[in-house]
Each structure stands twice: as structure tokens, then as C-alpha cells.
Chains A and B, each alone.
Chain A
Amino acid sequence: MVQSSNTQWARVPRALTNGAMGSKVLLAGLSLYVVGLCVVPLLLLFAEIGTTGLPTVAEVMAAPSTRLAAYRTVEASLGATAVSLVLGGYLALVLGAARPAGRACLTFLVLVPMLVPAQIAALAWLELTGPSSVILGAIGLAPEPGTRNPLYSREGIILLMGIEHMPIVFLAVRAGLRSIPNDLLEAGNLAGAGSMRSLWRIVFPLLRPSFLAGGALAFAAAVGNFGIPALLGIPGRYTMLTALIYQRLSGFGPSVLGEVAVLSLLLALIAVIALTAQGFAQARARVVLSGQGMPVQFKVSQRTRIALTVSVLLLLIPASVLPVFALMGTSVVKALGLPLTLETMTISHYADVLSNSTARRAFVNSAWLSAASAVLSMLIAVPLAWMMLNRRNRLARVLNRCADLPYALPGVVISIAFILAFLRPIPVLGIGLYGTGWLILLAYLARFLALSLRPVTAAFEAMDPALDEAARIAGAGPVVRMRRILLPSVAPAAGAGVLLVVLSAYNELTVSALLWSRGNETVGVLVFNLYDEGNATGAAAASVLAVAVTFAAAALATAIARWLPKGVLPWQA
């Protein structure tokens, strides 16, 4: 009790309970949202196995097609991980430590595969290496007409998935490199170790956890990849699990849900093993270094630096630049196989795509789906991140982990979980969402919440707690502080979160490939279907448009970068 005649302070205990109530209600709402979207569908996936019954599970697992697909998933993913590790590791070492000129530009090129979705990357590479290749044709290196594209093979899948996920390794190794203080290298030099020796004896051992973590993430991404196994593996008769699930579901419909649930759990299991390894690697990486000063930098002569830059360009031009050019070439050539000259150039494919009502609808659908999921996720992410950090609330931290699940697991698993959750009308409400765009929206909300949460959490973490305390000292209550201090401080990060979700959702295929229905096509589905119908030029034109949207969003994010917490945008050097 306040033993005071001062009436101003006598109201205090009530206000305190009100505040506590408010945050409890808020937390309850957030829990319902996160658990309902990110956990319940996955639990239903488990439950489905129970209802399917062990005999069916055993039957599916024992089927030769399952075993082969699982084997191929692991085989191709391991191969792709090796490609990612070599490419990403080399690029991170050269760009991070030797610091060639034009580093920001080169870093952007390294990350281009991340901005180009898998199915479009596959398409672009097919256009680059096929008999009708505009670019190879121009220099007389295109395969004979009628020959099979060499990418329709295990090696093709490994190469493309390796390049597609190379940025993951690059970012992990670059982050590791930045945490190594240059003092360690200088101490090695003073002890008489030359550059190669210090690289081998000092830098590599310290980077081991980063390589391990990046490799595990790249492996999990490859396991969950759908675009490349679908576009290369299906024609190449190299069926991986994601493609097998897609084929089963599109061939037989919901009647095979039990079987498909077993397959997707198998897929999830493979990914979880990789992610567990990554968790261990990260836990070990955390104990390594407490150094200060500049991050590690190699002293290289001007000649070596030029040589290194050239080697980076020789890798990046075929990996990042040529496929995009090939795609653009195909999208403007009158007919496949013609050499691209001023006479054979046309914009009719773009006109066709834009005048086609299905295509237009797909662009509109993807636009509203990605915008809605980005904005809604942000509205959830801001209070959740705030609860997690400023209140040090344990439940909020558990929710954060839950939000990570749908993003970490393969997209196909999320799709199957959502089909199972919403195939029947929602109990009590009686609303059926299956076959509508809302189902895709819900799946996006689950899958991309983590993307929205990360920058906002980083912003709250980077925020000096004294900023909030100073506002309290000034007499501001929770609502005023939220509106005038906290929200403006994290607004740029929330904006970045919105853009990251838009970037990922706009061109997304893995989830929508299984959830779309007539009238609810997404851009990813559009490109996939156009290519499937044999309309390569139309698919190329739609892809170029889709990639242009992605690049515009990335450019916008870069423009607001100076207000963002460091490290939110991966391509910022």
C-alpha cells in the first residue's frame, strides 16, 4: 500500500495490474496465432500417420520408388552441398579476406542465385545449355538440335542445386571470417608463418564450424528444393522425394494423402538430421572467439589480387550472369532455335503473357499473397520480438522457436501439413479453405513468419535498453513508448522484414505447387505450367518479369539499408 496523501501516486497498483493484463492478453493472442499456424498443421501431419496405420507406412517405406527417391535425394543433396561448399567457401575467402576492388558488386553477384527462385534458375540454365541456346548459339557452341539437354541428369541437378545454395555457405563463412580478429593472423605472421601456412593452420580450423553450419543449411535447402528436381529431374528420370510427392499428389489427388504424408515425414526427417548438425556446429562456433579489432585480412600483392578477382569473375559470370542473360535472350527471340539478331527479336512473348488472363491473374495473385503475408507477418513479428527481448518472456522465446519450424523444414512438408489441416472445413466455423487462395495465404503466413521476425528481433536486440528507460523517466506509459520510441526504432527493420517476405513469397513455387487450384495460380506455378506445356519462350518472358519484381524489391531494401540494423540484408558488404 502507498501510505501517502499524494493522490497522484495512489492509483498506481491498479495501473500496474492493467498493464500486466494487457500484455497477458497480447501474449495469449500471439501464442494462438503462432501455435495454430506453425505447430498444429505439423502435428496433424504426425497424426495422419497414426490414422494411416503402420501397414501402410511400412508399405510406403518399403516401396522401391520411395527408397530410390530417398537415396537420390540424399545423393544429389550431398553432391550439391559439396559444390556449394567449394564455391561459397572460395568466394567468401576471396571477397572477405583479400578484399578485391568492386567487392559490393561482386557480393551482389554471389547472391544473385538467392534472388532467382529455383524453378526460374533451372529454366535459365536449360536455356543457356540447351540446343536452342541463344548465347551458346551465338558462339557456335550450342549442342546439336535434337540432342538432350545435358542438365537433365543427376550431375545437372547437383550442379544447379550447388549453385542455387552456394550463397548460404558464402554467408556463413563470411560471418565466420568476420569474427576472426586480424590479430590472430598477425600473431601467426610474427611466429614466422607465411600466408598459406596461416590460412591452413589458423584460419581454416577457426572456420570449421562455419563451413559445417553453412554446409548443413545448404544440405537441408537442397533436400527441400522442388524447382530444380521438378524441372530437371522429372524429364531426366531422376526422381527425388519432393518431385515424387508432387507427382503422386497431382496424379491421384487427396486420396493418396496418407502415403504422401509418410513421404513428407521422411523428407522432414532428412532435413531435421541436417539441421541438428547445424545446431551443434553453431553451438560450437559460439565459444570460439572473443577477440577485438579488425576482422581478418590477407595481405596480398596487387598482382595476386587481380588474379583472384579474375578467378571470382570467371566463376560468377557463368553462375550468376549468363543464365539470366540466356533467359532474357529466350524471352525476346521469335522462335526457339533462331539466333538472336535484330530481325529475330520480338516483344510478342511479353505481350502474350500480359494479355493472357491466367497469367495476369497469377501476377495479381502473387502480388496480393506476398503483400498480405508480409504485412500480417510484420504485425505479428513486432509485438512478438518485443515480448521476447524487453520482457525476457520465456513463452515468447518458445514461440520464436516454433516460428522457425515452417521456414526450416522443406516447403513440401508444410504444404502437405496444410492440406491435411484444411482438407475438411474448419471445425465449429464450418469454413472450407481447401482449393481457395486463403489456404495458400495461411501456408505463406506460417512459412515466412521467421523471415519477418529475424530483422525485427535483431533491431530490438541492437536497441539500447536505456532508450526505453529514458522514455519511462520522461513519464511515458507503455502505449506512448510503443508508439513514439519502440516502433520508430524498429520501423526500418520491420520494413526489411516485409521486403524479405515479399521477395521470397512473390516467386515461391514449393508451397503453391501443391496448394494451387484454378484461379489461384501464383507466378511460380505460372512459370512452371508454361514450361510444362512446352511454351519455353512464354515461360522465359514470365520469368524475366518475375525476377524483375524481385530485383526491384531488393533494390528498395538496399535503398533503406542505412536505417537498418547491420547484417539484415545479406548482400550488404
Chain B
Amino acid sequence: MAGLKISNVRKSFGEKLVLNNVSMHVEPGEFVALLGPSGCGKSTLLRLIAGFEGLDGGEIHLNGAAVSTARTHVPTERRGLGMVFQSYALWPHMSVWDNVAFALDVDRVPAAEKRKRVDQALESVGLQDYTQRQPAELSGGQRQRVALARTLAARNSVILLDEPLANLDANLRETMQDEFRRIHRETGATMIFVTHDQSEALALADRVAVMMDGDLRQIDTPRHLYNRPIDVDVARFIGRGSVLPVVCLEAGTGTAQVAFGGGNFTVHAPQGSASGPAEVCLRPENCLIAEETGSSIKARVVSARYTGPNTLVSVELCDGEPCNLLATCPAEVPVSPGDEVFVQIKEGWMLPMQERSAVTASI
């Protein structure tokens, strides 16, 4: 099976450093999402893996063989990859069937086998009745399926997906997410999926790699990424986290007692945390607007946004350092800007104190 190893990859465009010593290891059959804001380098990394661009330093190994180093470069056409493009990149002068069969033509696959594999791929994405259509006659979702069928027919063991859902509307996106998940399960292919949509990344991937400013900040399972972010940026980027400056009073095994303003509360904490100033990541669903209790924090409502099941409230904390927090409030409790409220912290995660040495905060 095909694995992918990226070691210390560096890439600049002119003066601008786009990838700064990025390393990651993708297991055969794994589904990894590259997630980050636009301009973070995730698409460049994908293009380096595809071999569209050369790298400046580091190495990329595919199936255990070096395909990109600073000195050698295996051209894209010899890497045996599959790719689904954001623009789908269907060849407009070829029918759906010819699009899917192209890679097999290039490989000189015998006619009978080619027919079988193309038909199978098209059936697997539900397009068996559209084989003779031209790409221009298809809807966005159907084009996406053709692009997917192209990689399925080629039986690539590594499939790269470059924001494949960005051009689809919200409903179709969910359907296609299910489709990708099913196809990943059925083919067992290694998939590298670039997206800027975190809900997509969390929903689909086995592991999510968060990239920012050319750095790979954290690569982890969706659950760990959400519950155990490695630093302030990742904490804020994923799941609308708020970061609260606190004082760690006492670190235990996996938990810590922290103080903020007048109150104190218990949060999860990485191993080896020490007492002293620290930062805590809080998710909106874990900060509730409630009656005053001993451990709640006094705050003033800045704005409130009704979301259906509840109200998302942005508050300014009154005690301690000035700090904003996103909290939730039951939909039936009225809140308006300027109100004084109390925030109850149910759960939180103390960010690791050490320098960014390890990219995985797994416990």
C-alpha cells in the first residue's frame, strides 16, 4: 500500500516563504485533511506532492521512493497519483466516458478491461446513464462525480483532492462528503484532502493537519484537534474557541485547577503542566450563561446571535484582564447587549506551555 512521507519540506515563491520545514507521515489508506486559512500553504503542499512544483529543500517519499528532493524531481506523469481538482478539470472536448477512460488509454489498458473499469467507476458514482454526455451538459455535482470516477477507474492508490467541494452548494456538499467517505472505505486509497472548511475536515478525515503561515501546526485526529489544540492559533481557528489567560494553581494528572478573576475551575491539561500563568481554550458550548454560582464569572453582553437551538453570546469578562468570550445561552432566556450575566465554565483545555516542538498533543 502507498504511504506518503514528507520531511522538512521548504518552498518559497520569490521572497515569500510558503512552506517552512513541513513534515508529516501519512499511513497507507489514511484519509488526511490539510486545513488552514487561505494562503497558509496547504495547496502548495498538495502541488508539491503532485509534482507540479519543485521543492527548495526537504524530501517527499511516495511508496518509500523519493519523488521530490532538492536535486531530483519525478515528473507528475510518473507518480501514479489521482487528483480531483477544485475546477474539476474535465476535458471539455471529451465525453464523460472518454474523460474517465483517458488515464487507462495512456496506460494502454486492454480494451475489455478498460471498458469494465470505466463502467464500474461510473456506476460507483451513479453516472452510468450519463456516459455519452459532454461535461458542459452536466451540473456541478455531476461534474464532481466524473472527476472522482476518473481517479477510481485509474485505481490510484493515492488520491489528492484540492478543495473539491468549494464550488458546490451546501446540500450537495454534504451528499458529496458521504460519497467521499464511502469511496475511501471501499477503495482503501490514501486520500489527501485540501480544504479551508473545518467542519468538512473534521467530518471526513482520519487525521487533520492544521497549517498556518507555512507551518504545520498540528496533525491529529478530529477529536483531539478539537479538544486538545496545541496553541492559541489552532484553538481560535478550530471551533470558534476563546482563549482565556488564567493562573494555573495546581496541575494534576490530565487536569489542572486554574483561577480567573475571582473564580476558579478545573480544566483538562496536558501531562507535565506546571503552575503559573497559563492559557485555557474554551468552546462556546462549554461556557453557559447561567445563574450566579461560586465558580461563575461575571460578564457583560457585547452582542447576541440567535442560532436556533440556542443563542451564541459574545461577552466581555468583568473581572481580571479584559477578555472576550463566546458563550451559549438557552434560546428562551432573553439577552441583549449591555446585560450583566454570569458565565459558568463546564469544561476547558489548558494549552501546552512548552515551545512548539512536538506537533502532536496526543496524550
Contact = CB atoms under 8 A, between A and B. Distances in A.
Interface of A: 1-4, 6, 8-9, 12-13, 15-16, 464, 466-467, 469-477, 480, 484-485, 488-489
Given A475-B106, A489-B92, A469 B85 contact: yes
Nearest to A11: B78
Interface in B71-128: 71-78, 80-83, 85-87, 89, 91-93, 102-103, 106-107
Nearest to A15: B75
A466 B106 contact: no
Give 4 nearest A-B pairs by CB, closest first: A474-B103, A466-B89, A4-B65, A470-B89
Contacts of B93: 488-489
A485 B103 CA distance: 12
B258 interface: no
Nearest to B71: A1
A384 B243 CA distance: 57
B83 A473 contact: yes
Contacts of B91: 467, 470-471, 485, 488-489
A475 B77 contact: yes
B69 to A, nearest CB: 9
B102 A476 contact: yes
A13, A472, A477: most-surrounded residue (chain B CB, <10 A): A472
Contacts of A473: 50, 76-77, 81-83, 103, 160
Contact of A16 (B66, B75, B102): B75
B155 to A, nearest CB: 12
Nearest to A19: B75
B95 to A, nearest CB: 12
A474 B106 contact: yes
A76 B64 CA distance: 75
A466 B85 contact: yes
A12 B76 CA distance: 11
Contacts of B78: 8-9, 12, 475
Interface of B is mostly: loop
Contacts of B86: 466
Given A4-B64, A474-B150, A475-B78, 4 more contacts: A464-B89, A473-B103, A474-B77, A489-B93
A476 B77 CA distance: 6
B67 interface: yes
Given A4-B66, A9-B78, A469-B76, A475 B103 contact: yes
A239 to B, nearest CB: 53
Nearest to A12: B74
Contacts of B102: 471, 474, 476, 484
Contacts of B80: 475
Contacts of B64: 4
Interface in B139-154: 150, 154
Contacts of B83: 469-470, 473
16 contacts: A9-B65, A12-B72, A16-B73, A464-B87, A467-B92, A470-B150, A472-B75, A472-B76, A473-B76, A473-B82, A474-B103, A474-B106, A475-B77, A477-B77, A485-B91, A489-B91
Nearest to B92: A489
Interface of B: 50-52, 63-67, 71-78, 80-83, 85-87, 89, 91-93, 102-103, 106-107, 150, 154, 160
Contacts of A466: 85-87, 89
A2 B106 contact: no
A60 B50 CA distance: 65
A462 to B, nearest CB: 11
A469 to B, nearest CB: 6
A4 to B, nearest CB: 4
A363 B49 CA distance: 59
A464 B81 CA distance: 20
A2 B72 contact: yes
B89 A469 contact: yes
Given A475-B107, A476-B102, A480-B106, A2 B82 contact: no
Contacts of A480: 106
A15 B72 CA distance: 12
Contacts of B85: 466, 469-470
A6 B65 contact: yes
A58 B273 CA distance: 93
A285 to B, nearest CB: 28
Contacts of A488: 91, 93
B72 A13 contact: yes
A484 B91 CA distance: 10
Max chain B Cβ within 10 angstroms of own Cβ: one of A16, A471, A480: A471
Nearest to A464: B87
Contacts of A470: 83, 85, 89, 91, 150
A177 B77 CA distance: 44
A13 B71 CA distance: 10
Contacts of B103: 473-475
Contacts of A9: 65, 67, 74, 78
B59 to A, nearest CB: 10
A515 B73 CA distance: 54
B267 to A, nearest CB: 46
Nearest to A4: B65
Contacts of A464: 87, 89
A2 B106 CA distance: 24
A198 to B, nearest CB: 36
Nearest to A563: B93
A265 B81 CA distance: 58
B297 to A, nearest CB: 46
